[in-house]
Copies of this chain bind each other. A is one copy, B any other.
C-alpha cells in the first residue's frame, strides 16, 4: 500500500521525485477565510533551500512555491490548496553512472525490492527533496494556527548537536539560529562546528545531527486521546523523514531515570 498523506482534519498529500518535472502537495481541510499568499510560504522555503552554503546540498533550486488552487483574492476558500515547486536543477545525467548501483544508507534497494522498479535519478521519490513539500504545507499550518490560536502560539527549532559536537543550550539565542548556516542557537559553538564540518567534508565523510523543537502557547487537549495523540502524531511524522532514527519528547529516553518525586521541568 502506498500512502503519501499526513493528517486528519488538516491533511496534506505530497508527490514528486527528486529529478522529475516538479514536486508538490495538496493541502485539504484548511479553514476558509485565512489570509494566505505565496510570500507566507516562501520564507520557510528559504530556510530549507539547498545551495545556500558549502555545508548543504550543492543543488541550485529557487524552490519557488506556486499556489494553484484554494486561494481566492488573497484568502483561503476552504477548498484544497494545491502547491507546485518546479525542479530547476535536475541534472539526471549525473546519476547515469549509478544506474546499476544501490547507494548505501539510501532506500534504493528497498524501493527496488518493493516495487520491482526504481527511479534512480537522485533517489527519485526517496529523496529528501520530498521534505520541501512538508515545509510548504507546514507554512500554511503555521499561518492557520497563528490566526486561530493567536500570538501566544510560537514554534521554533534549532540544531543542537552536529556529529560529535553538542552546543551550550544555556546560550540558546533565537536570533542567532538563522544567522549561521547550521541553525545553531549558541553563537559560541558556531566556529567550532564550522571547523569540524569542514574537516568532515575534506575527509569525504559526513555526520548526523540532533534537532530540538520548542512549541509554546499550545491549547490544552489538542489531538486525539490515545491513537493519534499529539506525542504519537509528532513522533510518527518526524520518523517519516529520511534519516531520522530517534524522537524524544520532553525528557525522552531520560524519563526512565526519573523518580516519582522528580520535578518534570
Contacts and interface: CB of A to CB of B under 8 A. Distances in A.
Interface of A: 1-6, 8-9, 13-17, 20-24, 26, 28-30, 32-33, 66, 68-70, 72, 75, 77-82, 84, 105, 107, 109-111, 113-119, 124-126, 130, 161-164, 200, 204-210, 220-221, 224-229, 231-240, 243-261, 264
Contacts of A77: 17, 115, 117-119, 124-125
Contacts of A80: 2, 4, 13-16
Contacts of A69: 15-17, 20-23, 125
A65 to B, nearest CB: 13
A244 to B, nearest CB: 8
Contacts of A162: 256
Given A3-B227, A161-B256, A206-B260, 12 more contacts: A4-B28, A4-B80, A13-B26, A13-B80, A16-B80, A68-B84, A72-B119, A210-B253, A227-B240, A231-B245, A236-B239, A239-B247
A243 to B, nearest CB: 8
A249 B246 contact: yes
B20 A225 contact: no
A255 B233 CA distance: 22
Contacts of A68: 15-16, 20-22, 24, 84
Contact of A251 (B9, B163, B238, B245): B245
A235 B256 contact: no
A176 B110 CA distance: 35
A117 to B, nearest CB: 5
Contacts of A221: 110-111, 113-115
A13 B70 CA distance: 14
B15 A1 contact: no
A226 B14 CA distance: 10
28 contacts: A2-B78, A2-B225, A3-B28, A3-B227, A6-B227, A14-B227, A15-B79, A20-B68, A21-B69, A22-B82, A72-B119, A72-B124, A77-B115, A79-B125, A105-B264, A111-B221, A113-B220, A130-B226, A163-B259, A207-B257, A207-B258, A210-B253, A227-B240, A228-B240, A235-B236, A245-B252, A246-B248, A246-B252
Contacts of A232: 236-237, 239-240
Contacts of A240: 226-229, 231-232
